[in-house]
């Protein structure tokens, strides 16, 4: 499949356009490489917001972004991507700053625990704990509606939190899921895992290795939610969603399948498959006009959902 040429040039610039290494990198090398690329493509200078402050919520590190001005605004709890193994508050700082600016929302970015040091459900529990705290203290944040968002592994975590809130009768206004990880079972037969196995930054082998490390203490969790939101018993009554996936992404089909599952359950969903885009594309918005247009579309739709509270059936 043809990759967006601007992204292709970017991958070549950073030397990550070739075949995967013969020897898989260590976890430390994975984290260092992810951090290097993420910080290299971040907006420079950083997007201006009203404030950005580090804090701890429910024992979990967070960074809280607030828009300029006063009054009630939505709050979005954001979970970064990285295969449950890499990523941190810094790697997605640019993403969260744009969310804050474009949505006019308070954004709470969550530094959840990572595998393999802290396998499932540690990171998921952190995400639920932070979102639950924010939901119970709206006056400390935006004061308006509450939503969740995330990319890749973070998109899967956001979907899992949305399922938990649905089951507990807690309202969420919306969810934004960028190329989410929704099926860790390896049994879904998703065609994109074969079509896009190599050549597009994230490889299928990396997806499988990340899942193995993440679920080390409970491999059976792959067959059910919340580890695999696509395999939940029911998707009825979930918050409306914007879901965007890239054509050249091993996780493309499970993300699109999740959008279809929500729609089949009567959940309002905006579903997008962006030609030429790869996994992780939302971090490349300042480097690719195609990515910028895709991110703008997703955030515009998400903002519309945030402004229109939805009563789940």
Residues known to be catalytic: 152, 249, 279
Burial class (CB in 10 A: 0-12, 13-18, 19+), 152: buried
Is the torsion defined by CA of 247, 182, 144, 68 positive or negative?
negative
What six digits make up the tokens of 40? 């290299």
CA nearest neighbour of 192 among 148, 255, 243, 244: 255
CA distance linking residue 162 with residue 26, whole number of Å = 32
Do 280 and 81 meet the contact criterion of CB atoms below 8 Å apart?
yes
Question: Residues 210, 216: contact at Cβ < 8 Å?
Answer: no
256: enclosing H helix or E strand: helix 252-264
Beta partners for residue 243, in sequence order: 177, 271
Which candidate, 202, 6, 169, 195, places its Cα nearest to that of 85?
202
């Amino acid at each position: 499949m043809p990759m967006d040429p601007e992204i292709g040039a970017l991958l070549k610039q950073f030397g990550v356009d070739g075949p995967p290494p013969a020897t898989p990198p260590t976890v430390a090398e994975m984290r260092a490489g992810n951090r290097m690329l993420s910080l290299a493509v971040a907006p420079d200078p950083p997007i201006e917001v009203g404030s950005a402050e580090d804090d701890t919520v429910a024992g979990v590190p967070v960074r809280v972004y607030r828009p300029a001005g006063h009054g009630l605004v939505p709050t979005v709890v954001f979970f970064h991507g990285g295969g449950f193994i890499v990523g941190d508050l810094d790697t997605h700082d640019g993403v969260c700053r744009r969310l804050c600016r474009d949505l006019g929302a308070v954004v709470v970015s969550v530094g959840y625990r990572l595998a393999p040091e802290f396998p499932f459900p540690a990171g998921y529990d952190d995400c639920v704990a932070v979102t639950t705290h924010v939901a119970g203290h709206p006056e400390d944040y935006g004061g308006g509606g509450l939503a969740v968002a995330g990319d890749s592994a973070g998109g899967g975590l956001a979907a899992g939190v949305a399922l938990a809130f649905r089951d507990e009768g807690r309202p969420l206004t919306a969810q934004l899921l960028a190329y989410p990880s929704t099926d860790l079972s390896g049994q879904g037969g998703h065609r994109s895992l074969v079509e896009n196995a190599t050549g597009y930054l994230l490889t299928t082998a990396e997806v499988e290795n990340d899942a193995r490390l993440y679920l080390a203490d409970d491999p059976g969790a792959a067959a059910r939610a919340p580890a695999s939101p696509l395999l939940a018993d029911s998707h009825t009554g979930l918050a409306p969603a914007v879901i965007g996936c890239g054509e050249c992404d091993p996780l493309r089909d499970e993300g699109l399948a999740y959008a279809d599952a929500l729609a089949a359950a009567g959940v309002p969903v905006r579903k997008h498959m962006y030609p030429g885009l790869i996994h992780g594309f939302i971090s490349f918005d300042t480097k690719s006009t195609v990515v910028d247009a895709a991110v703008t579309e997703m955030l515009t739709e998400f903002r519309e959902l945030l402004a229109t509270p939805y009563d789940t059936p």
